[in-house]
Structure 1
Amino acid sequence: MKALKGTWAIVLAIFFVLVYLIPLNGRLLWQPDETRYAEISREMVAKGDWVVPNLLGLRYFEKPVAGYWFNNVSQLLFGENNFAVRFASVFSTALTALLVFALAWLMWKNARRACLAALIFLSMVLVFSVGTYSVLDPMISLWLTAAMVSYYLTLKASTAKGKLAGYVLLGLACGMGFMTKGFLALAVPVISVIPIVIQQRKIKELFCYGPVAVVVAALLSLPWALAVARSEPDYWNYFFWIEHIQRFADDNAQHKAPFWYYLPILVAAVLPWLGLLPGSLLKGWRERVQRPELFFLLSWVIMPLIFFSIAKGKLLTYILPCMAPMALLMAAYAEDCVTQLRTRVFKVNALLNGLFGLTGIIGLVLIGTGVLPNVELFSANEWPKIIFGIIAFAGWMLFAVVSARNNAQRWTWAAACPLLLCLLIGYAIPQQVIDSKQPQHFIQNNISVLNQSRFVMTDSVGIAAGLAWELKRSDILMFSEKGEVTYGLAYEDSRNRYVSYEDFPQWLEQARKQGDVSLVLQLSRDERVPQSLPTPDSVYETSRLALLWYKQLP
Structure 2
Amino acid sequence: MRSSRFTHYLVLIAVAGLLTFPNLGAPSLWDMDEGVNAECSREMLESGTWIVPTFNWELRTAKPVMLYWIQRPFIAAFGPTEWAARLPSALLGLGTVLLVYELGRRMFDPATGLLAGVVLASAVQFSMLSHASTPDAPLIFFTVLAFYLVWIGHERGGRGWFIWPAVACGCAVLSKGPVGLGLPGLVIVLYLAWNRELYRALDWKLLAGILVFFLVAGPWYGLVAAETRGEWTRTFFGKENFGRLTVPQENHSGPPFYYLAAVIVLFAPWSCVIGVTFWYTVKAAWGRVGVLSSTTPDTHGEREKLAEMRGATSVEAPAPSEDAVDAERRANRFLLCWFAVYLLVFSAAQTKLPNYIGPLYPALALLTARYLIRWSRREVVPARWIMPGAISGVALTGILVGVGFVISSGAVGPVSKGMRLFPGLETWAWVGLIPLAAAGVMAWYLWAGDRGRVVGAMAVGSVGLIGITAAGPVLVVDQYKAAKTLVLSSGAHQPDHEIRLAAVGYFQESLVFYAERKVSRGMPVEGMENGTPKTYERPFLPEDIADFLASPLPAYLFVPETMWDQQLAAKITSPVRIAARKYDFYRNEEILVVTNAPER
Length-normalised TM-score, structure 1: 0.87
Aligned residue runs from structure 1 range 156-305, under 5 A: 156-159=155-158, 163-164=159-160, 166-208=161-203, 209-233=205-229, 234-250=231-247, 255-290=252-287, 291-305=329-343
State the alpha-carbon separation in 1 of the partners of residues 593 and 25 from structure 2: 29
Partner Cα separation in structure 1 for residue 528 and residue 420 of structure 2: 36
Specify the alignment match of 1:349 in structure 2: 390
Alignment partners' CA distance in 1, 2:549 and 2:528: 25
Q: 1:518 to 1:326 in 2, by over 3 A?
A: same
* Paired residue type of 2:257: W
From 326, 347, 350, the counterpart of 2:364: 326
| CA–CA separation in structure 1 for the residues paired with 2:249 and 2:528 | 17
Asked if 2 retains the 8 angstrom alpha-carbon contact of 1:454 and 1:514, the reply is no
Please tell me the root mean square deviation across aligned C-alpha atoms, in Å: 3.0
Identity of aligned residues (%): 20
Whichever residue aligns with residue 469 of structure 1, its letter is F
User: Residues 295-349 of structure 1, C-alpha deviation per residue, up to 9 Å, x if partnerless?
Assistant: 1101100111100000111110011100011111111111110111759655433
How has the CA–CA distance of structure 1 residues 443 and 506 changed in structure 2, closer, same or farther, with 3 Å as cutoff? closer
Q: How does 1:492-531 map to 2 (within 5 A)?
A: 492=533, 494-495=535-536, 498=537, 500-502=539-541, 504-506=542-544, 508-509=546-547, 512-522=550-560, 527-529=562-564, 531=566
Whether 2:567 is the aligned partner of 1:532: answer yes
* Matched letter for residue 129 of structure 2: V
The alpha-carbon deviation at position 176 of structure 1 amounts to 0.8
- 2:413 corresponds in structure 1 to 371
CA contact (8 A) 2:504 2:540 kept: no
Q: What are the Cα deviations for residues 187-217 of structure 1, in whole angstroms up to 9, with x where unaligned?
A: 1112222321112222222132433322211
Q: Distance in 1 between matches of 2:548 and 2:271?
A: 60
Of 284-293 and 311-320, more deviation after overlay is shown by: 284-293
The yes-or-no answer on 1:386 pairing with 2:386 is no
Which residue of the partner structure matches residue 89 of structure 1?
A: 89
Q: Is 1:455 the counterpart of 2:506 in the alignment? A: no
Structure 2 stretches lacking a partner, 5+ long: 288-328, 584-588
Q: Given that residues 529 and 546 in structure 1 are in contact (C-alpha distance below 8 angstroms), is that contact kept between their aligned partners in structure 2?
A: no
- Do 1:32 and 1:462's aligned partners in 2 also have CA atoms closer than 8 Å? no
Shift of the 491–541 alpha-carbon distance from structure 1 to 2, 3 Å rule, reads farther
Q: Which of these two proteins has the greater Rg computed from alpha carbons? A: 2
Aligned length: 528
For 2:169 and 2:475, locate their aligned partners in 1 and report how far apart those are by CA, in whole Å: 39
Q: Give the 3 Å change call, closer, same or farther, for CA 368–478 of structure 1 in structure 2.
A: closer
Residue 156 and residue 420 in structure 1: after superposition, are their counterparts in 2 closer, same or farther (change >3 A)? same
> Match of 1:441?
485
Q: Distance in 2 between matches of 1:3 and 1:238?
A: 51
Per-residue deviation at 1:480? 8.1
2:115 maps to a residue whose letter is L
Residue deviations 1:454-489 (CA, integer Å, cap 9, x gap): 2101147852x322211222x22113899xxx999x
Deviation of the 1:136 alpha carbon: 0.7
Distance in 2 separating the partners of 1:430 and 1:253: 24
The letter of the residue matching 1:422 is A
Instruction: Output the amino acid matched with 1:455.
Output: R
Amino acid at match of 2:218: L
| Contact preservation (8 Å) 1:393, 1:421 | no
Displacement after TM superposition at 1:364 (Å) = 3.6
Distance 2:127 2:438 in 1: 18
Q: Evaluate the alpha carbon distance shift between residue 522 and residue 286 of structure 1 in structure 2; reply closer, same or farther with a 3 A threshold.
A: farther
Shift, 1:399, TM fit: 3.1
Structure 1 residues 460, 205: closer, same or farther in 2, change over 3 A? farther
Change (3 A) 1:61 1:4: same
State how far apart, in whole Å, the 2-side matches of 1:401 and 1:443 are: 48
Supply the distance in 2 between the matched residues of 1:213 and 1:522 (Cα, whole angstroms): 54
The alignment partner of 1:285 has SS state of helix
Following superposition, the deviation at residue 4 of structure 1 comes to 5.0
Deviation of 1:426 after TM superposition, in Å, equals 2.5
* Residues 69-96 of structure 1: CA deviation (Å, up to 9, x unaligned): 1111332343321111111111221121
- Aligned-residue offset at 1:29: 1.0
Distance in 1 (alpha carbons) for counterparts of 2:41 and 2:370: 40
Deviates more, 1:252-261 or 1:290-299: 252-261
- Secondary structure, in 3 states, of the residue corresponding to 1:287? helix
Instruction: Provide the C-alpha distance between the structure 2 equivalents of 1:481 and 1:121, rounded to a whole number of angstroms.
Output: 47
User: What is the match of residue 111 of structure 2?
Assistant: 112
> Post-superposition shift, 1:152?
1.7
Contact 1:26/1:426, CA 8 A, preserved across alignment: no
State the match for 2:402 in structure 1.
Answer: 361
Q: Who is 2:466 aligned against?
A: 418
Secondary structure of the structure 1 residue equivalent to 2:23: helix
Which amino acid in 2 is paired with 1:232?
T
Output the amino acid matched with 1:265: A
2:375 alignment partner, SS class: helix
Give the CA deviation at 1:508: 3.9
Contact 1:301 1:322 in 2 (8 A): yes
Q: Which has the higher helix share?
A: 1
Instruction: After TM superposition, list the pairs within 5 Å mapping 1:34-183 onto structure 2.
Output: 34-108=34-108, 110-159=109-158, 163-164=159-160, 166-183=161-178
Q: Aligned partners of 1:32 and 1:78: how far apart in 2?
A: 22
Contact 2:493 2:516 in 1 (8 A): no
Opposite residue 46 of structure 1, the aligned amino acid is E
Query: Relative to 1, partners in 2 of residues 1:520 and 1:481: Cα closer, same or farther, differing over 3 Å?
Result: farther
CA distance in 2, matches of 1:418, 1:22: 12
Asked whether the 8 Å contact 2:163–2:209 carries over to 1, the reply is yes
| SS of match in other structure, 1:529 | helix
TM superposition shift of 1:122: 0.7
Describe the SS at the equivalent of 2:27: coil
- Indicate the residue corresponding to 2:521 in structure 1: 478
